[in-house]
Amino acid sequence: MNKKLVSPSLKRGLTFGIVMIIFVLIDLDVMVATMLSKLFGANVIRGSLPDVGFMVLFLILFGMFVGWSTSSDDAKPTTKLFQALVAGLTLGVVLGLFDLILNQLIVTGTDVRKYLAALAPESIRLFLFDQGAISPLLHLGLFTVASLLGSLMKILLKSESASRFFKGVKSGYQGLQAKAQANTPNWVKKYGKFLLFLLIGLLAFFLPRIWGSYNNYVVGLVGLYVILGIGLNIIVGLSGQLMLGFAAFFAMGAYSVALLNAPLPHGIMLGFWPSLLIGILMAVVAAVLLGLPVMGMRGDYLAIVTLGFGEIIRILLKSDLLTSFTGGPRGIQDIRGPTLFGQSFSSDIDYTYIILVVMVLSIFIYKRLERSRTGRAWLAVKEDTKVAQATGVNIMTNKLLALCLGAAFAGLAGGIFAARNQFTGPNDHQLMVSMNILSILIVGGVNSIPGIILGAFTLKGLPEILREIENYRLLVFGGLLVVMMISRPEGLWPATRPNIEKDEGNKLKEDGAPGKGGLND
Amino acid sequence: MTDPIIQVKNVSKIFGGLTAVNQVDIEVPEKYIYSIIGPNGAGKTTLFNCISGFYFPEKGEVLFYGDPIQGLSTNLVAWLGISRTYQNIRLFSNLTAVENILIGLHPNLKTNWFEAIIHTKRFQKEESGSVKEALRLLDYVGLKGYGDFLAKNLPYGLQRRLEIGRALANQPKLLLLDEPTAGMNMNETAEATHFIKRLRDELGITIILIEHDMKVVMGISDRISVLDYGTKIAEGNAAEIQANPRVIEAYLGPGGAALSEKYKKQRLSNAKSN
């Protein structure tokens, strides 16, 4: 075979070999094996190691992925297998050499944790399958076979007969769907949506009572970030102002509720609901104060100014100067929760209810704003500010309005957040909060509500559920962002524009009002 | 001659040391198609920008129905009833065609964001009315069936039409078209010319046109002004402009007028001998 075929496969094997070595060095291999074992229902106690079989499984999956990705799409099956063979062998040789070093470490009893904190001898033994000197050979064989397997899988799944099979399944499914649609009785068509909402409502009512306080905490956190995401989306996604200090508005809401509703430092005890309203108002006031001077800025300049604004607010809250007023770096404790009809309404279940209701309300308001004159004006400003203005949109008022409404959502979320934690301090309002919210938009999909929910769940919910990856959170985070930007640059669930002509045209036809005029008549 | 809809009086626009527009006077009567021509860099688009509020002229006045409008921000100018299109198409490219026209309707609508949230009767009525109007305009500019395409995905000719549709949405009294037939082939140009004429005849809109295609200019203009190096060098109807030696020199360089005379004579004699 010619050189052109060998060298890319060699390179690929080498690259993945290095990737695997890095995985081993930071102990990521053991973590993935642990997660795999959990996936299969094994009960792994924290700190203990998973069964060696799961490590084998992980390495096989890794090898198969290498084989799959190395075999080029348009090559003949034999060529594909050959490419996979080369890549697998290279991978095996690279890791075999690495194994020799690791084995030496075990034999001499050197502890490298001084330099590589994660690389415990037990982890190394697990990676070497506890076989000592023959493990390089085991790895070589395993990766070669796995790589060939991956290639074989690609050949089978991408072959013509396979694609015909999938097409058949798809058309069969569509046929079934059409049949089902034709057979649905009228009342289902009419009230189906309503019933669905009812079902979701009932679930939202009963689930928080059943699934325990930890899940309530996670759902509440995701819900709060959805509200924040919607707020920021009005500013960034609709009106196109890159805002990096969003946590400042969040802090406004949180501190308003905290200061007006905690025994220290002021002891005003105004009650939760009025102070929440004041919190929203304070956030809007802050937005106006920030917005008026910076309205003329755009892009990077605006981003830097708002970044500075966020930091100023946080540092002010922390400063010694204001300690008697804001509680200083230690924050404010014992924030009183909300009451409803004279009853305390501040258990974790109640907070989940509050957050879910506010979230649904936020989505509702967002949807209505988006499909209105104001929403369209914002989008126009984002697309082309000068042309939007020349089309008759008042840039100043619309931009400021977007900033204020977005800030109002942040103030709302902040107030609930502070009361739920019964505590708020400067560390709750760091730059990372703003970055997280922006990441939710980017990962989920700008201007898309399902995208924001998905993004909030991915970035805030998953890390809570997958506590194992705690140490690798930033790594996974960064990796996810890179993969996302390459494979789905518009987000997990990108926004689509409404089909106004199709929808409204049908409506007009039903009204019996034909379109008039036209160049082509 | 009816009352002028727009008067440009002694307008100058200076960028640093360069006088892009130099003491230009233009008067456009109502329901005229008025063309501004001139070589590249003559200041035609700058003059447009002065009228539509993009630039604030250093000297002179722009009067719309006798009221000065220079220095007003562009959204107010649009609100008064002056719409424009751009030399290099500037649509809201990630929005659909219908949405582009809906944004054009913006200055005519009155409901605010709060009414949008609580869906008042007035809001619903206005919203459905504006959608209906947008669809009508879409049909009028010949984009029926393309309404749900993203503006950036439309073919070039349709993008030009959509831009005109968006400009028509706020029911302008004066329409500024900046090279509406640039980059079109002969058929498309003829169609566009016909369309511009229809705008004036059916909707009664006054049109100022910047155009390089002399066939278009000479075919539909009621009056033509020629700019060169920021100065107006000639004004008149098509025949007067064609005969003006200064115009020919501006396009062909010094001595151009004589040259063109010579070729004209040659062609005439050729025609005779044939």
The DSSP code sequence of A376-435 is HHHHHHHH-HHHHHHTT--HHHHHHHHHHHHHHHHHHHHHHHHHHHTEE-GGGG-HHHHH
Contact between chains at B106 and A391 (C-beta distance less than 8 A): yes
Residue B23 shares a structural domain with residue B141: no
Structural domain includes residue B104: yes
Nearest to B117 among A365, A391, A501 (CB): A365
More confident residue, B169 or A481: B169
> Which parts of A271-394 fold into alpha helices (H)?
272-294, 299-318, 323-326, 348-370, 373-383, 385-390
Nearest to A497 among B74, B145, B150 (CB): B150
Q: Is the pLDDT of residue B166 over 50?
A: yes
Sign of CA dihedral A217, A219, A225, A228: negative
Structural domain includes residue B228: yes
Contact between chains at B86 and A395 (C-beta distance less than 8 A): no
> Going by C-beta distance under 8 Å and a sequence separation of 6 or more, which residues neighbour residue B10?
B23, B24, B25, B59, B60, B61
Residue B180 shares a structural domain with residue B112: no
Residue B177 shares a structural domain with residue B77: yes
Is A496 at the interface with chain B, CB within 8 A?
no
Nearest to B96 among A390, A395, A497 (CB): A497
Give the closest residue to B30 by CA, choosing from B2, B51, B59.
B2
User: In B, which residues are within 8 Å of A448 by CB distance?
Assistant: none
Structural domain includes residue B263: no
Minimum distance, in Å, between the CA of residue B88 and any CA atom of chain A:
12
Structural domain includes residue B221: yes
Tokens 């009005």 belong to residue: A234
Residue B66 shares a structural domain with residue B37: yes
Q: Is the pLDDT of residue B256 over 80?
A: no
Minimum distance, in Å, between the CA of residue B148 and any CA atom of chain A:
5
The residue among B169, B193, B220 that closes a domain is B169
What would the pLDDT profile of A304-347 be if each residue is shown by its tens digit? 999 999 999 999 999 888 888 888 888 898 898 888 887 888 88
Tokens 């709302």 belong to residue: A412
Tokens 């934690």 belong to residue: A421
Per residue, the 3-state secondary structure of A194-210, as one string, reads: HHHHHHHHHHHHHHHHH
Asked if A253 and A410 touch (Cβ cutoff 8 Å), the reply is: yes
Q: Is A92 exposed, middle or buried (0-12, 13-18, 19+ CB in 10 A)?
A: buried
**β partners of residue B208:** B34, B176
Number of domains chain B is built from: 2
> Going by C-beta distance under 8 Å and a sequence separation of 6 or more, which residues neighbour residue B42?
B227, B228, B229, B230, B250
Per-residue pLDDT, B94:
93
Mutate to test the interface with A, among B50, B82, B92 (most CBs of A within 10 A): B92
Asked if B207 and B200 touch (Cβ cutoff 8 Å), the reply is: yes
Chain A residue closest to B81 (CA)? A392
Structural domain includes residue B65: yes
Strands B223-228 and B231-236: antiparallel
Give the closest residue to B94 by CA, choosing from B37, B23, B150.
B150
Residue B35 shares a structural domain with residue B68: yes
Q: Residues in chain A with pLDDT < 50?
A: 512-521
Is A514 at the interface with chain B, CB within 8 A?
no
Q: Is A182 exposed, middle or buried (0-12, 13-18, 19+ CB in 10 A)?
A: exposed
Nearest to B99 among A365, A387, A500 (CB): A500
Contact between chains at B78 and A390 (C-beta distance less than 8 A): yes
Chain B residue closest to A499 (CA)? B148
Asked if A113 and A119 touch (Cβ cutoff 8 Å), the reply is: yes
Asked if A33 and A55 touch (Cβ cutoff 8 Å), the reply is: yes
Nearest to B75 among A365, A394, A497 (CB): A394
Mean predicted lDDT score pLDDT of chain B: 91
Nearest to A380 among B103, B126, B148 (CB): B103
Count of CB contacts below 8 A, A vs B? 144
Asked if B229 and B20 touch (Cβ cutoff 8 Å), the reply is: no
Tokens 């307008």 belong to residue: B11
User: In A, which residues are within 8 Å of B95 by CB distance?
Assistant: 376, 379-380, 383, 497
> Going by C-beta distance under 8 Å and a sequence separation of 6 or more, which residues neighbour residue B103?
A376, A377, A379, A380, A388, A391, A393, B92, B95, B166, B169
Contact between chains at B147 and A389 (C-beta distance less than 8 A): no
The residue among B120, B140, B169 that closes a domain is B169
Structural domain includes residue B183: yes
A60, A64, A88, A125, A191 from A68: Cα distances, Å: 12, 6, 11, 28, 47
Q: Which domain holds residue B223?
A: 4-81+172-243
Angle in degrees, CA A137, A142, A148, rounded to 5: 130
Contact between chains at B75 and A392 (C-beta distance less than 8 A): yes
User: In A, which residues are within 8 Å of B160 by CB distance?
Assistant: none
The residue among B116, B138, B169 that closes a domain is B169
User: In A, which residues are within 8 Å of B103 by CB distance?
Assistant: 376-377, 379-380, 388, 391, 393
Q: Is the pLDDT of residue B101 over 50?
A: yes
Chain A residue closest to B111 (CA)? A373
Contact between chains at A375 and B109 (C-beta distance less than 8 A): no
Structural domain includes residue B214: yes
Mutate to test the interface with B, among A391, A447, A448 (most CBs of B within 10 A): A391
Contact between chains at A394 and B117 (C-beta distance less than 8 A): no
Question: Residue A107: how many CA atoms within 13 Å on its side-chain side?
Answer: 9
Q: For residue A440, which amino acid is it?
A: I
Residue B146 shares a structural domain with residue B214: no
Residue B77 shares a structural domain with residue B176: yes
Q: Report the greatest alpha carbon distance in chain A.
A: 90
Residue B70 shares a structural domain with residue B110: no
SS3 state at B139: helix
Chain B residue closest to A361 (CA)? B117
Contact between chains at B112 and A520 (C-beta distance less than 8 A): no
Structural domain includes residue B256: no
Asked if B141 and A519 touch (Cβ cutoff 8 Å), the reply is: yes
Q: What CATH number did the domain enclosing B75 receive? A: 3.40.50.300
| Predicted TM-score (pTM) of this structure | 0.81
DSSP state of A458: I
Residue B101 shares a structural domain with residue B35: no
Residue B188 shares a structural domain with residue B77: yes
Taking the C-alpha atoms of residue A482 and residue A213, their distance in angstroms, rounded to an integer, is 34
Residue B126 shares a structural domain with residue B153: yes
Per residue, the 3-state secondary structure of A155-196, as one string, reads: HHHHCHHHHHHHHHHHHHHHHHHHHHHHHCCHHHHHHHHHHH
Give the closest residue to A287 by CA, choosing from A303, A306, A269.
A306
Sign of CA dihedral B206, B211, B216, B222: positive
Taking the C-alpha atoms of residue A436 and residue A229, their distance in angstroms, rounded to an integer, is 9
**β partners of residue A423:** A333
Residue B100 shares a structural domain with residue B71: no
Give the closest residue to A471 by CA, choosing from A90, A11, A143, A47.
A47
